[in-house]
């Protein structure tokens, strides 16, 4: 059986900036409403993540049937990554009512959900490392895009259980979509 894991979610609020897909604008809700500026048809000061409602699912390529592994009408899912042995799925999840994405893992059959990271930072775009660790991008670097008012995420690493988080890059712009090459080197966009 061949299956494809995917997330289904609404379109991002900010369709114009490739890095404005998590977190919030630097201009906060304390700004008087008459001073809030529309950026990409979305007022600054609010969240940048996509509209609520999403699911983590898999598609059977042989039958065309889809199976929902997890759904949240008030939250959102992103960035699924299947483990090397295809038994686990790593993904980013923003639980309904919460503001941050955290790294989570679930068994390929939809059981065994566990949240790996927590806190005030967004952790997303995870991938498994050959040594059992996890590579991901995070707003833990506490930086902001120089030419816009959104947060920057840089490369981080943690153990399989989410412990021992370590920052790997110190870029002033966004790092995105890390991927492990067959030889073990890391490829990512910036």
Show me where the domains of the chain are located: 3-189
Q: What is the pTM of this model?
A: 0.84
Supply the Cα-derived Rg of the chain in whole angstroms.
17
Q: Is the pLDDT of residue 22 over 50?
A: yes
Token reading at 24: 């919030």
Q: What is the pLDDT of residues 115-142, one digit of tens each?
A: 999 998 899 999 999 999 999 999 898 8
Are residues 92 and 104 in contact, defined by beta-carbon separation less than 8 angstroms? yes
3-189 CATH pick, 3.30.60.50, 3.60.15.10, 1.10.260.40, 2.120.10.30: 2.120.10.30
pLDDT level of residue 163 (50, 70, 90 thresholds): very high
For the segment 95-111, the average pLDDT, to the nearest whole number, is 93
Rounded Cα distance, 123 and 140, in Å: 8
Token reading at 152: 């920057």
Sign of CA dihedral 16, 100, 57, 158: positive
The SS3 call for residue 155 is strand
Cβ-based neighbours of 64, under 8 Å, separated by 6 or more: none
């Amino acid at each position: 059986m061949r299956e494809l894991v995917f997330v289904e979610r609404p379109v991002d609020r900010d369709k114009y900036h490739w890095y404005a897909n998590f977190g919030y604008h630097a201009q906060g809700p304390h700004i008087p409403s008459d001073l809030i500026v529309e950026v990409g048809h979305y007022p600054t000061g609010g969240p940048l993540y996509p509209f609520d409602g999403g699911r983590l699912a898999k598609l059977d390529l042989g039958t065309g049937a889809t199976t929902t592994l997890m759904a949240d009408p008030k939250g959102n899912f992103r960035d699924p990554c299947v483990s090397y042995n295809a038994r686990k799925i790593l993904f980013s999840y923003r639980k309904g009512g919460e503001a941050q994405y955290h790294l989570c893992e679930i068994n390929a059959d939809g059981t065994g959900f566990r949240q790996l990271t927590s806190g005030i930072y967004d952790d997303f775009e995870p991938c498994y490392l050959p040594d059992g660790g996890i590579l991901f991008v995070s707003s833990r670097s506490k930086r902001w895009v120089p030419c816009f008012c959104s947060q920057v995420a840089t490369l981080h690493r943690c153990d399989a259980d989410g412990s021992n988080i370590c920052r790997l890059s110190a870029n002033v712009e966004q790092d995105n979509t890390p991927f492990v090459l067959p030889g073990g080197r890391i490829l990512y966009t910036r």
